Amino acid sequence: MRGQFIQVPVLEAGNLVRGGRFGWKNQHASLLSFAADAYLNEMGITSPLQPNENTSNGRPVDAFDKVLDPDNDGQDVEAFARFMRATKAPPRDEALAATPDAQRGDQLFTLIGCDVCHVRTIVTAPAGTVINQGAFTVPAALGGKAIHPFGDFLLHNVGTGDGIVQNGGQSTRNKVRTAPLWGMRTRDRLMHDGESLSRNEAILRHAGEAALVIFNYRNLSAVDKNALITFLNSL
C-alpha cells in the first residue's frame, strides 16, 4: 500500500509544479492557488490567477453577472489564503484523550495499521524555506512545527472513488486524499461525499488499499472497537 504523490501547477508561480496536498484529489499545492480556484469555481469570481470565466453550454457566465467581479487586483484571494494559513486545527479534547478507553484506542490505531495512511506526525519545513516554486517563504509561525494531522496528504484508492479526474490524470480517478482526522470530533458527515454518518460506518467503508487494515478492525472485540472510536472522538 503506497500513497500517490502528484505534481500539480502552482498558479502564482507561472504553473510550475509542486506536489499536491490540498483538496479531495490533491488538486492544489498552495493555498493561494486553492483560493483562486474556489473563487472562480465555487463563487464565479475571476481574479488575476484565474482570469477566465466559466461557460455554461458554451456561453460565458459573465453575461448573467449583475455586478462586476470584485477581485481584479487579486487582493481578496490573497487575504483569503492568509486567513486559511492562520486558521488552526481544533485542539484535542484532552479530558477524553486522558481516559483509559481513548488511550487503548490510541494504541490500537497503530497496532492494526490505521496510521499507515493516517500519519500521526509531520514536521513542517524550517522557517525561511522557499516553497511553492519561489512564491512563498515559510514564516517563523509555521516553520519547524510538529503537527498531528493524522493524514499523509497522499492519494489512495480505498474503494470510495467517484471517477472524477482533477489535476492528477486518469490514474487518480478513483483515488481520494487520506482525510486528515484532526478535528474529527467536530464532524458528523464523513468521507468525501458526506455519506457516512458514524465513525464505525466510515471505517467499514474503506476497502481497496485499506482492506487488510479494515480486516484487522473487523476482528477487534466490541470493547476494542469502541475504544478506537473513543480515541477518534478525542481528536
What cell was used for 234?
A: 478525542
203 binds ligand HEC (CB under 6 A): yes
Q: Which of these segments, 25-33, 50-58, 94-102, 185-193, binds ligand HEC (CB under 6 A)? A: 185-193
Chosen residue from 25, 28, 199, 225 binding ligand HEC by CB under 6 A: 199
Q: Report the nearest approach of ligand HEC to the CB of residue 214 (Å).
A: 6
Chosen residue from 18, 21, 104, 118 binding ligand HEC by CB under 6 A: 118
| CB of 5 closer than 8 Å to CB of 154 | yes
Count of chain residues binding ligand HEC (CB under 6 A): 29
Task: Please say which residue, 131 or 220, places its beta carbon nearer to ligand HEC.
Answer: 220
Q: How far, in Å, CA of 184 to CA of 192, rounded?
A: 13
114 binds ligand HEC (CB under 6 A): yes
235 binds ligand HEC (CB under 6 A): no
136 binds ligand HEC (CB under 6 A): no
Q: How far, in Å, CA of 40 to CA of 35, rounded?
A: 9
What does DSSP assign to residue 193?
T
190 binds ligand HEC (CB under 6 A): yes
Rounded to a whole number of angstroms, the distance between the first and last alpha carbons of the chain is 25
Q: Which of these segments, 11-19, 80-88, 129-137, 153-161, binds ligand HEC (CB under 6 A)? A: 153-161
Task: Please say which residue, 18 or 225, places its beta carbon nearer to ligand HEC.
Answer: 225
Burial label for 29, CB within 10 Å (0-12, 13-18, 19+), is buried
Q: How far, in Å, CA of 138 to CA of 8, rounded?
A: 20
Task: Please say which residue, 31 or 203, places its beta carbon nearer to ligand HEC.
Answer: 203
Task: Please say which residue, 26 or 132, places its beta carbon nearer to ligand HEC.
Answer: 26
What cell was used for 142?
A: 509555521
| CB of 6 closer than 8 Å to CB of 126 | no
CA atoms within 13 A on the CB side of 25: 19
Q: Report the nearest approach of ligand HEC to the CB of residue 55 (Å).
A: 29
The continuous run of DSSP H or E covering 35 comes out as: helix 31-43
230 binds ligand HEC (CB under 6 A): no
Q: How far, in Å, CA of 77 to CA of 194, rounded?
A: 27
Q: Which residues bind ligand HEC (CB under 6 A)?
A: 1, 112-114, 116-118, 156, 158, 160, 176, 178-179, 181, 187, 190-192, 199, 202-203, 206, 209-210, 213-214, 217, 228, 232
